[in-house]
Structure 1
Amino acid sequence: MTVRAPPPGTLGNLTPDEQEKLQQAWIHLLRLCGSKSLEGVSFSEPVPDLTHELRQQMSDKSPDTFREGLWGFILSEHPDALVLRFLRARKWDVEKAMVMLVSAVNWRLERDLAETIIHKGESVGLKKAPSADDQGFISQYRSGKSFVHSVDKESRLVYIIRVREHDPNAQSGDSMETYILHNIESLKMLMKPPDDKCCLIFDMTGFGLKNMDFHVVKFLVSVFEARYPETLGVILIHNAPFVFWGLWNMIKGWLDPVIASKINFTRKSADLLQFVPAENLQTSYGGKDSFEYKYIEPVEGENAKLEEVEKRAEIQHERNELVDEFELRTSEWASLAADTSAEKEKASRRTETAEHLSKNYWTLDPYIRARTVFHRLGMVG
């Protein structure tokens, strides 16, 4: 089996200049976190203090609040993977990348994603008396309008959206936003560097004006551009009917050039097979995979650990200690010139701590996240 080299600008494939930018980014983040690990540390190159400017993106939230929000964004992945996505999105301009990342952390805190998306999630499907928005949310999963299955030729998760199944009037805009965010946060558990992007297929077969939802389109564009950058690898708009093209002229004006550059239009099975191998493409699209989506309902008792407050606190305490250690290792590493023997030694110890953090997260996960369909399928953990 051939091991693919990580793409340029990702974990394991950074130039000395990119590594230096990553180090600078972490110095800014540690300052924003109010980390004591920076005390007494001198840097090989001076790093301007942008704390005041960046804190304005946080609506003057405290350093502890920012730190909690940042690590609530990282969760199971290597901390550098998150930071690198924002650096790539801003073409390695550290200040612009930090403004973007801090704004995204603030947005997550404002929307209370930890509670409303991660902790609550699909558990609403077990409610005896769900609210209208709860019903609107869980009905999206049951409808089969979107699902993930297999990977494309670049080992990116394939996520299919069957647009004909969408009725803009069947649920509120809030329910749709919750559904979209829950899908993204759930997919993040499955996407590991270097395969931390997805192949998004919009199946336009049977699309009509009754399916068009401008609110959803604008929301998708905004979150992938500003909140989850560098998450989309390729976008395939498949089998678009004539009625779509009049709308497309409007939609493409909303797109960031980076997102627009990822879009491909496909019509036949042969077009899709350029991106997805036949054994991974469903037979309905001309492939060899007989998979058909069926939602697996939440099960009574599957979220029992969410109520175990003391155990959660115990594991969270272990995680906090690992975060302290990672910040210490990071300040030591970030103070050294990139690509030196001393820097490489510090980087190795830091990587070990990052691995411990990831392992700790999977212990913590059932205490902070309602089980998802991916948990029930045994795809994560």
Structure 2
Amino acid sequence: MSLAQKPGTLGNLTPVEEQKLQQSWVHILRLCGIEDLDTGTLSSIPDRSDEFRKHLTDKTTEGFNRNFWATVRAEHPDGLVLRFLRARKWDVEKAVIMLISAVDWRKEAKVDSSVVFHGEDVALKESPSVDEKSFIQQYRSGKSFVRGTDKAQRPVYIIRVRLHDPYAQSAESMESYILHNIESLRALVKAPYDEACLIFDMTGFGLKNMDFHVVKFLIQVFESKYPETLGVVLIHNAPFVFWGLWNVIKGWLDPVIASKINFTRSKSDMERFIAPENLQKCYGGEDPWEYEYVEPVPGENDKLKDEEGRERIMEARWNVVRDIVRETVEWARLDVESDEAKAASKKRDQVVDKLHSNYWELDPYVRATTYLRRAGVVNEKHEVDFKGAKGISTKV
């Protein structure tokens, strides 16, 4: 099925939107220390680098350059920048501030160096910490998982709220679990179709499950750190006790996120968003699958210890980054409606494809194997099958 592509996404930009993307890149590259940006048409874009650096903890060009490209990971870098532009209604300077703040936060939160790098590998440690034990226990509990896609082909991420005990883990462990799941979802999608369908299954919810810290953290990260990644949010089968809490929660929501929230209760409600074959039987659909955690196995993360191998692939990655920067500067100089700009954009995309391929070669050296890989949702060729874990049918 061909999908309708959202306006303002990769490959579906108006000339004005593409100009905004060019301008954003000029600011980003200046922060990365690229100096050849004050000639021709680029000289008309004021240099706001000193102002932007006020929003960074590491204000060095080397630090921002390293942290920005670490944030890109396997994404098309334009897809990343465009999400922030859409979130700030195409105000370039506000979007750049939001983006660089997210890059800086990511470093401070140790998303790459700890959350993603160690991930579920902590289950294999001889003496895991209390937080590490509770992190992996959340995966074993089945409180959240990916299963299938919605009608817009977005991965469906389900949170079974009744299985959440606010006192079973520290706030830090819960935040790590949330970020690890978001990062795993990022690896499943590709611009321009880079959104997810999020279901809060409120069946059996009671006040004992309510965790205001988690709600606030989810709102914060989806609004300011991973903007434009939620396609739709379904709050399913909410009991009477929830509605008093909802009056508090909805006051915290950004209008954009609030507009994506839908309340569902019946099979027909759910099938407005998810086809019956992709909807689990517990929601009235045809999919009999039930979640069961697939445990990590010894040796699956040996490449995390191979520093020489990691450095070799990282060196190749930086060579590709330099090529992308060169092609980006050339493209940014051109009138977006000119034939030259179209040719430059196509050439640039070809280089970006190399970055994508390089990341998947790098991935086992920088990210511990996830449940999604072990369950067959992602295969060795990095192909995604959102119903890959077909053989699992044990109820939690």
Structure 1 residues 41 and 361: alpha-carbon distance in aligned structure 2, compared to 1, 3 A threshold? farther
- Contact persistence 1:296–1:376 (CA under 8 A): yes
After superposition, what is the alpha-carbon deviation per residue over 1:156-178, rounded to whole angstroms, capped at 9, x for unaligned?
Answer: 11000000000001110100000
Q: What residue is the counterpart of 2:20 in the other structure?
A: 21
- Contact persistence 2:26–2:42 (CA under 8 A): no
Q: What residue is the counterpart of 1:111 in the other structure?
A: 109
TM-score where L is the length of structure 1: 0.98
Q: Which runs of 4+ in 1 moved over 6 A?
A: none
Runs (5+) with no aligned partner, structure 1: none
CA drift of 1:59 comes to: 2.6
Matched, 1:242 2:220: no
One-letter identity of the residue aligned with 1:247 = L
Q: What residue is the counterpart of 1:220 in the other structure?
A: 218
- Contact persistence 1:9–1:18 (CA under 8 A): yes
One-letter identity of the residue aligned with 1:58 = L
Matched, 1:370 2:368: yes
C-alpha separation between the residues in 2 aligned to 1:195 and 1:155? Answer: 8
How high is the sequence identity, in percent, across the aligned residues?
58
After superposition, what is the alpha-carbon deviation per residue over 1:134-167, rounded to whole angstroms, capped at 9, x for unaligned?
Answer: 0111111000000001100011110000000000
After superposition, what is the alpha-carbon deviation per residue over 1:16-72, rounded to whole angstroms, capped at 9, x for unaligned?
Answer: 000000000000000000024x25642267111110111111135211111111111
Q: Helix, strand or coil: the match of 1:247? A: helix
C-alpha separation between the residues in 2 aligned to 1:112 and 1:161? Answer: 24
After superposition, what is the alpha-carbon deviation per residue over 1:243-282, rounded to whole angstroms, capped at 9, x for unaligned?
Answer: 0001111111111111111000011111001000000000
After superposition, what is the alpha-carbon deviation per residue over 1:178-212, rounded to whole angstroms, capped at 9, x for unaligned?
Answer: 00000001110001123210110000000000000
**Which residue of the other structure, out of 253, 269, 275, is the alignment partner of 2:251?**
253
Residues 289-368 of structure 1 mapped to structure 2, 5 A cutoff: 289-368=287-366
CA drift of 1:4 comes to: 2.6
- Contact persistence 1:41–1:331 (CA under 8 A): no
C-alpha separation between the residues in 2 aligned to 1:60 and 1:299? Answer: 37
Range with greater deviation from structure 2 (54-63 or 217-226): 54-63
Q: What residue is the counterpart of 2:33 in the other structure?
A: 34
After superposition, what is the alpha-carbon deviation per residue over 1:302-342, rounded to whole angstroms, capped at 9, x for unaligned?
Answer: 00001111111010000000000000000000111112111
Matched, 1:174 2:183: no
Q: What residue is the counterpart of 2:59 in the other structure?
A: 61
- Contact persistence 1:44–1:336 (CA under 8 A): no
Residues 84-103 of structure 1 mapped to structure 2, 5 A cutoff: 84-103=82-101
Q: Helix, strand or coil: the match of 1:147? A: strand
CA drift of 1:6 comes to: 2.2
Q: What residue is the counterpart of 2:132 in the other structure?
A: 134
One-letter identity of the residue aligned with 2:159 = I
C-alpha separation between the residues in 2 aligned to 1:313 and 1:171? Answer: 35
Q: What residue is the counterpart of 2:285 in the other structure?
A: 287
Q: What residue is the counterpart of 2:391 in the other structure?
A: none
One-letter identity of the residue aligned with 2:8 = G
C-alpha separation between the residues in 2 aligned to 1:26 and 1:58? Answer: 17
C-alpha separation between the residues in 1 aligned to 2:180 and 2:310? Answer: 22
C-alpha separation between the residues in 2 aligned to 1:193 and 1:309? Answer: 31
CA drift of 1:118 comes to: 1.2
- Contact persistence 1:204–1:241 (CA under 8 A): yes
After superposition, what is the alpha-carbon deviation per residue over 1:343-370, rounded to whole angstroms, capped at 9, x for unaligned?
Answer: 1111111000000000000000001111
CA RMSD for the aligned pairs?
Answer: 1.1
Q: Helix, strand or coil: the match of 1:77? A: coil
Runs (5+) with no aligned partner, structure 2: 383-396
